[in-house]
Amino acid sequence: MSNKILVTGGAGYIGSVTVWALLRSGYEVVILDTLAKGHRQALPETCTFVKGDIGDTSLVRQVIRAHGIERVIHFAAFSLVGESVEHPLRYFQNNLVQGIRFIDTCVENGVTSFILSSTAAVYGDPVHIPIVETHPLAPKNPYGFSKLGLEQVLTSYRQTHGLNVAFLRYFNAAGADTMNGIGEDHTPETHLIPIIFQTALGKREKVFVFGGDYDTPDGTAIRDYIHVSDLAQAHIKVLERVGGGLKHLAYNLGIGKGYSVLEVLTMAREVCGREIPYEITGRRTGDPPILVASPDRFHAEFGWEPQFGELRDILASAWQWHQTHPEGYQGEARGTA
Ligand SMILES: NC(=O)c1ccc[n+]([C@@H]2O[C@H](COP(=O)([O-])OP(=O)(O)OC[C@H]3O[C@@H](n4cnc5c(N)ncnc54)[C@H](O)[C@@H]3O)[C@@H](O)[C@H]2O)c1
């Protein structure tokens, strides 16, 4: 089997950390990314980088054939829930339509295994916590629907073409890969932890906390944060077995512990030793009050424990990156597009 892995969206946050981890594990990597959201600077200067769209059939065909690709990790997507509610077509087009075109081109050109970045958003409002993989699938927004749609399309290609597939449903990715200088730099940034540290650095006036009246102990929403390097390692574990030997199609990737926004803020303040002003404001449409994974399926099958089981360590890694990258990747020299 070819040792070369095609990583779409490999210049993005989770994708770039996974690329570094794959290289460290001895894989060769080919990255396909439009750079609409990602950063070439997040990648090693010398890696094989192709700037292009997953929906560009002739480009994808050429990349797969030129590199003899058999396995794909598919991170490329738009992933802002709010934006997906405002601009559903953008999400269905980029994530689902282009995604289907991409899957079909992969299968036509000899790809045998496909790992999809999926999300807790496929579950919608939880009917029980922690969320297990058999929880009803009831997305509440176009982003969640686009990911569930791809899961279903892949299931169909599995049945008709024998494609080996795995859906990794991440909860909240967080933290930084400090060894390789990779952190979270989205534009716009909507994720809590980077916003907190940008505020600690004086780049923002305050953190807006969306909703203080949820049915949770302190009234703020509860999320499950998993370190981005643990996510990367989980992909490598799945990659090793996706060609046969996986017991399931879908796996939750979370820590299995929930923290409220105010708990994250308090701990972040302790980690960075700075004041972090915040203001509680209205709820954001489509935000469930609590999202906590049951990671038991993944842990049982892979005998795997996250290296960053404590939120404090996740926060410390993020803080280290933000201090050294106060403007994100701007001005970073490594790799140019
Ligand atoms: N960050 C999280 O907490 C989280 C949680 C659940 C699921 N996910 C999923 O994980 C994946 C990675 O998330 P991330 O936070 O690293 O996002 P990101 O925006 O940092 O990375 C996505 C990358 O995909 C690229 N891209 C987008 N559309 C493309 C296209 N049509 N063709 C080629 N490249 C394209 C972007 O330029 C970007 O580099 C996404 O699929 C996201 O939906 C993320």
Do 54 and 6 contact (CB within 8 A), yes or no? no
Q: What percent of the chain clears pLDDT 90, i.e. is strictly above it?
A: 93
Our mutation pick for probing the ligand 1 site, out of 49, 83, 117, counting the most ligand atoms within 8 A of Cβ, is 117
Domains of the chain: 4-173+225-253 (3.40.50.720), 192-223+256-324 (3.90.25.10)
For residue 183, give the nearest of 325, 47, 79, 80 by alpha carbon: 325
For residue 252, give the nearest of 96, 51, 118 by alpha carbon: 118
pLDDT tens digits, one per residue of 243-296 = 988 999 999 999 999 999 999 999 999 999 999 999 999 998 878 999 999 999
Do 228 and 308 contact (CB within 8 A), yes or no? no
Q: Give the mean pLDDT of the chain.
A: 95
Take residue 112 and report the two structure tokens written for it.
């045998």
Take residue 173 and report the two structure tokens written for it.
């990715």
3-state secondary structure of 169: strand
Q: Could you tell me if the CB of 11 is within 6 A of ligand 1? A: yes
Per the DSSP assignment, residues forming a β-bridge with 227 are: 174
Residue type, 5: I
Atom of ligand 1 minimally distant from the CA of 173: 3
Please say if the pLDDT value at position 117 is more than 80: yes
337 band by pLDDT with thresholds 50, 70 and 90: very low
For ligand 1, the distance from its centroid to the CA atom of residue 12, given in whole angstroms, is: 6
pLDDT tens digits, one per residue of 68-112 = 999 999 999 999 998 999 999 999 999 999 999 999 999 999 999
- Region of poorest pLDDT, from 17-26, 238-247, 264-273: 238-247
Please say if the pLDDT value at position 335 is more than 80: no
143 belongs to the catalytic site: yes
